[in-house]
Amino acid sequence: MPAAPKPRRKAPEPRPYHHGALRDAMIVAAVALVEEGGAESVTVREAARRAGVSSGAPFRHFASKAALMTAVAEEGMAKLRASIAGKLAACASEHPLVRLLAVGDGYFAWAIAHPTHYRVVGDRTQIDFWGSEALLRDNGWIRAEMLALFARAEKEKLLRPCDLRVIHLQCRSLAYGLARMLVDGHFREFDVSPKAAPAAMRGALRDYVLSLARDRAALGRVLDAA
Amino acid sequence: MPAAPKPRRKAPEPRPYHHGALRDAMIVAAVALVEEGGAESVTVREAARRAGVSSGAPFRHFASKAALMTAVAEEGMAKLRASIAGKLAACASEHPLVRLLAVGDGYFAWAIAHPTHYRVVGDRTQIDFWGSEALLRDNGWIRAEMLALFARAEKEKLLRPCDLRVIHLQCRSLAYGLARMLVDGHFREFDVSPKAAPAAMRGALRDYVLSLARDRAALGRVLDAA
DNA sequence: CTCTAAAGTAAGCATCGATTACATGCAGCG
DNA sequence: CGCTGCATGTAATCGATGCTTACTTTAGAG
């Protein structure tokens, strides 16, 4: 019966001339496209189609496709940070190296769950990483969290003799390398079945963290308990 | 005077109707484009332009742009392998862990010298990696070389107690992560100046290899000597 | 020498990112 | 209330891309 009432106000029926939240809708659509077919399948036009606007409209909100992809990366980085924060919050132990492994768990969990989105976040050549406040903030948070854990571990004499700067770079590279190998399709090269990849990644990081400990056996016991 | 002699045979003057080696010429042009502006700036048409043929000609030799990029990756993987082989040949020591570091040196050297090309080689989602004999062969060579060194190190009791499969994955991930962080633009995040990146990468890998040694001090002396 | 098939060309299709000229309508002001 | 300005939308268009098709050239096998 109410075929077409008065297009009075916020009636979300046909489509008000002005979308109202196109910027957000574009990001949602672009993220969906990324998840469906990877960054390469993202098209400004298709995202506009899904948002129900013409192909030129998005450029009122994004200077370029790269700007849209930067927003997609911001979205991803926030989720990545949230995933890490979640694992940290769920980590009962206060042992810095145990918590470091929790950071890795949160990092891998999101990368594994959203591989194509993770690729957008990781590739800083396609987005304006250094020009995005949100990316710098969330990435900086992750970085600071790691550095604080390393600093605490050192202060508490939990680390083997080492250069903090070196192991920070090492740790980041190992985590990035593991996640990146996964999303770049390298894991088929190892015997691990696709479903075993997460465990292999965690195992590699766990063993690495153990190698950082002054008292490997002690940390092993703590990790086994947790 | 000899404005236009007889277009008799192999006269490389205007352009013989048949190119003669279009496939190779396309790969050369595509590699050049990759080095100049990254994979994203590669265009079948532009490569064809540089090879001096029409835009449709390349498709007689490559089923798709992805097939051309796969050939570009093959070219890169061969160079990567050659770089590693060179460092191994130049390595005087027979110590497996010293030679493992030489593998890393060869790997990093090429990645640093050809970052955009390296990205093409590393990203197996954009090329037909598992369908390319050349890629499988050269990548397999690198892999086998590493595995042999690990096996020798273990047989010669040079390794700390560890699971070979775990440290193989670790080592690969660390190397891939370091190289990938470089070409993905992550190094600005660390204090290292751009020119210091190679040293930082080597330092991280060196420290990692040291952490694998049963007798860290002994390996340290060997490395310092070399 | 002929004749086929590999390897070129030119033209065209659908699509893309981006721009332009124009249309709409909300907000703020008289 | 009515006017108006500006953010936000549309439609049309541009040049470029990947890829295909129909046709042309030419090398080389028989």
Using a CB-CB distance cutoff of 8 angstroms, which residues of chain B are in contact with residue A203? 166, 169
Reported as a pLDDT band with limits 50, 70 and 90, residue B14 is: low
- Where on strand C do bases come within 7 A of a protein Cβ? 6-12, 15-21, 24-26
A41-75 burial, b at 16+ Cβ within 10 Å, e below that, comes to ebebebbbeebebeeebbeebbeebebbbbbbbbb
3-state secondary structure of A37: helix
Instruction: Give the pLDDT confidence of B30-76 residue by residue, as tens digits.
Output: 999 999 999 999 999 999 999 999 999 999 999 999 999 999 999 99
Question: What is the rounded distance in angstroms from the CA atom of residue B166 to the CA atom of residue A226?
Answer: 21
Reported as a pLDDT band with limits 50, 70 and 90, residue B16 is: confident
CA-nearest residue to A187 within chain B is: B169
Q: Please report, for residues B85, B89, B110, B133, B135, the alpha-carbon distance to residue B141 in angstroms, rounded to integers and kept in the order given.
A: 10, 15, 16, 12, 10
pTM: 0.92
Task: State yes or no: pLDDT of B6 exceeds 80.
Answer: no
Task: State yes or no: pLDDT of B1 exceeds 80.
Answer: no
**Cβ <8 Å between B203 and A122:** no
In angstroms, the CA of A75 and the C1' of C23 are apart by 33
Question: What is the rounded distance in angstroms from the CA atom of residue B88 to the CA atom of residue B97?
Answer: 12
Question: What is the rounded distance in angstroms from the CA atom of residue B206 to the CA atom of residue A162?
Answer: 12
Question: What is the rounded distance in angstroms from the CA atom of residue A36 to the CA atom of residue A39?
Answer: 9
Q: Which residues on adjacent β-strands are paired with residue A159?
A: A213
Percent of chain A with pLDDT over 70: 92
Look up tokens 């050369």; give the residue: B28
Give CA angle at B95 (B89, B97), nearest 5°. Answer: 95
**Cβ <8 Å between A174 and B173:** yes
Name which residue leads in pLDDT, A36 or A19. A36
What pLDDT was estimated at residue A6? 37
Q: Where are the alpha helices (DSSP H) in A91-132?
A: 96-113, 115-122
B45 touches strand C (CB under 7 A): no
Q: Which residues on adjacent β-strands are paired with residue B159?
A: B213
Reported as a pLDDT band with limits 50, 70 and 90, residue A226 is: confident
Partner-chain residue, chosen from A123, A124, A174, that has the shortest CB–CB distance to B174: A174
How confident is the prediction for chain B on average, in pLDDT? 92
Task: State yes or no: pLDDT of B132 exceeds 80.
Answer: yes
Question: What is the rounded distance in angstroms from the CA atom of residue A148 to the CA atom of residue A145?
Answer: 5
Partner-chain residue, chosen from B38, B169, B174, that has the shortest CB–CB distance to A173: B174
Question: What is the rounded distance in angstroms from the CA atom of residue B166 to the CA atom of residue B212?
Answer: 11
Task: State yes or no: pLDDT of A126 exceeds 60.
Answer: yes
CA dihedral B99, B100, B102, B104 (to 10 degrees): 170
Reported as a pLDDT band with limits 50, 70 and 90, residue A17 is: low
Question: Residues for chain A: how many in total?
Answer: 226
CB of A201 closer than 8 Å to CB of A110: no
Task: State yes or no: pLDDT of B103 exceeds 80.
Answer: yes
Cβ count near A184 (within 10 Å): 21
Using a CB-CB distance cutoff of 8 angstroms, which residues of chain A are in contact with residue B204? 166, 169-170, 173
Task: State yes or no: pLDDT of B178 exceeds 50.
Answer: yes
Q: Which nucleotide is nearest to B65 (CA to C1')?
A: D18
What pLDDT was estimated at residue A14? 57
**Cβ <8 Å between A122 and B189:** no
How confident is the prediction for chain A on average, in pLDDT? 92
**Cβ <8 Å between B173 and A40:** no
Partner-chain residue, chosen from A40, A139, A207, that has the shortest CB–CB distance to B170: A207
Question: Residues for chain B: how many in total?
Answer: 226
Residue type, A71: A
**Protein residue minimizing CA–C1' distance to C6:** B60
Name which residue leads in pLDDT, B16 or A2. B16
Q: What is the mean predicted confidence (pLDDT) over A89-100?
A: 97
Q: What is the mean predicted confidence (pLDDT) over B172-201?
A: 92
Q: Is A92 exposed, middle or buried (0-12, 13-18, 19+ CB in 10 A)?
A: exposed
Name which residue leads in pLDDT, B17 or A33. A33
Q: What is the mean predicted confidence (pLDDT) over A101-120?
A: 98
